[in-house]
């Protein structure tokens, strides 16, 4: 069943939502206030890098099932469902800044011409569904047409940058929450092609639909991200212990992951998590708990461990090179993860800032990042091998698969020193050592032979 959908806000989430809903057969209008973004979107081009998204946008625009506008009435007036996908950046107190959501909800309320289901796709504080209803009501009373009405649904997103299209079209689950059962039925129809995988490219796995109330759906998103972030912080804590006792965290993770109660996913030792979600969502959940007088010891510890983990690379460099003043350090990878150009809360940005403050000279490469705002002292190079030129050390901070094809011996030949710090445990230590480099991973024991006792 084809539905008419409006998507308000076309950032990382909204653009993917709009393109994917058009892909499965709905009529979609994206509402975008930024003129530059709007012009790009109308050409079928995303204003950021996400693998496969430009092709999907272009397909939707060419086919006539996806268009973009700056006019709220054009986007909302005749639609069945409105998805709010505007940003909710963290404020100084850790709570999400809801200014953009307020503005979007006001615009939507003023543009309503019939009954609409308003869906919060952005990550909003727990309890925001009722607040949102009040904002829309006020706008509807002031500017809406007679007979207009609405219901509110929470539909949290679980998209990973770099694989957002696959995550949306082939999700592990779809969560919808509302105090209006009829509104839940409408949103379930929106997702029907995805739930049945009844679209070109659908696979055999039909994801479950979780129906619940507003507050529970809002909490599910925070709970999911908080758990994943805590899992990563836990294994980084363990990696730091492994380094001190002579254990190898790679083997520890393999053995732990064989236990189905634990699983190996997200047991990824390294320089810590980043991006726009984990830190923001943990801070918001901590702030929410504090409003109700509850101390979130585990969540605060996860945040602390992650912040400390970013210092490990600098500490390793200092252990080998002593003073970093005048030292040349090459950086491989800048984005917070592969498959995206997003630098928000990227560990690399924090680590590079520390290196510059210590007097180091930094060259960096990333396959898609082309500029580093606020880090003018960094020289960006076009080829990964160029970061090694006269370098005292090379540090890998983003596990782009392209880096696995590097000529490590050639890398070493261009260096002044021989230190290779693998901040994501991407490389085999023995392979790096054979290239004449001194290998330092996170929680690894490069000197011993790996024994696959469970193979």
What tens digit of pLDDT does each residue of 79-89 get?
Answer: 999 999 998 88
Specify the higher pLDDT residue, 93 or 305. 305
Q: Is the dihedral of CA 323, 328, 333, 335 positive or negative?
A: positive
Which pLDDT does position 445 carry in this prediction? 73
In 24-152, which ranges are continuous DSSP H helix?
35-42, 53-63, 72-76, 99-111, 128-143
For the chain, give every domain's residue range. 4-212, 228-440
Which pLDDT does position 326 carry in this prediction? 96
What tens digit of pLDDT does each residue of 168-200 get?
Answer: 999 999 999 999 999 999 999 999 999 999 998
Could you tell me the pLDDT band of residue 446, with boundaries at 50, 70 and 90? low
Residue among 243, 178, 251, 166 nearest 209 (CA) = 178
Mean pLDDT of the chain: 92
Inform me whether the pLDDT recorded for 1 exceeds 90. no
For 228-440, CATH gives: 3.40.50.720
Q: Which of 145-154, 237-246, 326-335 has the lowest mean pLDDT?
A: 145-154
Which pLDDT does position 343 carry in this prediction? 93
Inform me whether the pLDDT recorded for 447 exceeds 60. no
Inform me whether the pLDDT recorded for 55 exceeds 80. yes
Inform me whether the pLDDT recorded for 248 exceeds 50. yes
Q: d(Cα 109, Cα 133) in Å, to the nearest integer?
A: 10
CATH domain 4-212 topology? Rossmann fold (3.40.50)
Bin 61: left if φ > 0, else alpha if -120 < ψ < 50, else beta: alpha
For residue 85, indicate whether it is catalytic: no
What tens digit of pLDDT does each residue of 375-411 get?
Answer: 988 999 999 999 999 999 999 999 999 999 999 999 9
Residue 192: CB atoms within 10 A of its CB come to 15
Could you tell me the pLDDT band of residue 43, with boundaries at 50, 70 and 90? very high
Q: How many CA atoms lie within 13 A of 342 on its CB side?
A: 20
What tens digit of pLDDT does each residue of 275-329 get?
Answer: 888 988 999 999 999 999 999 999 999 999 999 999 999 999 999 999 999 999 9
What tens digit of pLDDT does each residue of 222-243 get?
Answer: 999 999 999 999 999 999 999 9
The proportion of the chain whose per-residue pLDDT surpasses 90, expressed as a percent, equals 78
What tens digit of pLDDT does each residue of 263-286 get?
Answer: 988 899 999 999 888 988 999 999
Average pLDDT over residues 326-341: 95
Q: Judge whether 4-212 and 228-440 match in fold.
A: yes
Which pLDDT does position 191 carry in this prediction? 97
């Amino acid at each position: 069943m084809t539905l008419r959908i409006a998507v308000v806000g076309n950032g990382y989430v909204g653009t993917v939502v709009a393109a994917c809903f058009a892909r499965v057969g709905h009529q979609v209008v994206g509402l975008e206030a930024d003129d530059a973004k709007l012009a790009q979107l109308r050409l079928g081009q995303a204003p950021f890098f996400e693998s496969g998204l430009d092709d999907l946008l272009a397909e939707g625009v060419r086919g006539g099932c996806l268009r973009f506008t700056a006019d709220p009435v054009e986007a909302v007036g005749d639609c069945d469902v409105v998805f709010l996908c505007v940003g909710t950046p963290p404020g100084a107190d850790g709570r999400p800044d809801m200014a953009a959501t307020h503005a979007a909800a006001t615009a939507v309320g003023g543009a309503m011409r019939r009954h609409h289901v308003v869906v919060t796709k952005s990550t909003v504080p727990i309890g925001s569904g009722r607040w949102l209803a009040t904002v829309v009501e006020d706008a509807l009373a002031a500017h809406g047409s007679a007979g207009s009405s609405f219901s509110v649904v929470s539909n949290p997103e679980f998209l990973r940058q770099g694989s957002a299209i696959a995550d949306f079209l082939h999700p592990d689950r779809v969560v919808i929450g509302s105090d209006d059962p009829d509104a839940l039925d409408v949103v379930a129809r929106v997702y029907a092609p995805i739930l049945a995988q009844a679209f070109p490219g659908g696979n055999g796995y039909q994801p479950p639909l979780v129906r619940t109330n507003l507050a529970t759906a809002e909490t599910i998103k925070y709970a999911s991200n908080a758990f994943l972030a805590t899992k990563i912080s836990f294994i980084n804590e363990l990696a730091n212990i492994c380094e001190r006792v002579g254990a190898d965290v790679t083997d520890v993770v393999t053995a732990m992951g064989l236990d189905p109660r634990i699983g190996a996913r997200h047991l990824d030792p390294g320089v810590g998590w980043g991006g726009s979600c984990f830190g923001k969502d943990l801070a918001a959940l901590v702030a929410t708990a504090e409003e109700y007088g509850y101390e979130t010891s585990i969540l605060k510890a996860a945040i602390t461990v992650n912040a400390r983990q970013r210092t490990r690379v600098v500490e390793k460099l200092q252990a080998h090179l002593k003073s970093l003043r005048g030292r040349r350090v090459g950086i491989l990878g800048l984005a917070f993860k592969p498959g995206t150009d997003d630098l928000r809360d990227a560990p690399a940005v924090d680590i590079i800032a520390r290196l510059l403050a210590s007097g180091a000279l930094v060259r960096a490469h990333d396959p898609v990042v082309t500029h580093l705002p606020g880090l003018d002292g960094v020289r960006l190079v076009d080829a990964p091998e160029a970061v090694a030129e006269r370098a005292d050390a090379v540090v890998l901070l983003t596990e782009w698969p392209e880096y696995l094809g590097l000529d490590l011996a050639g890398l070493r030949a261009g260096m002044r020193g021989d230190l290779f710090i693998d901040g994501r445990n991407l490389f085999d230590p023995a392979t790096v050592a054979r290239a004449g480099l001194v290998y330092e991973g996170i929680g690894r024991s490069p000197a011993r032979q790996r024994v696959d006792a469970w193979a």
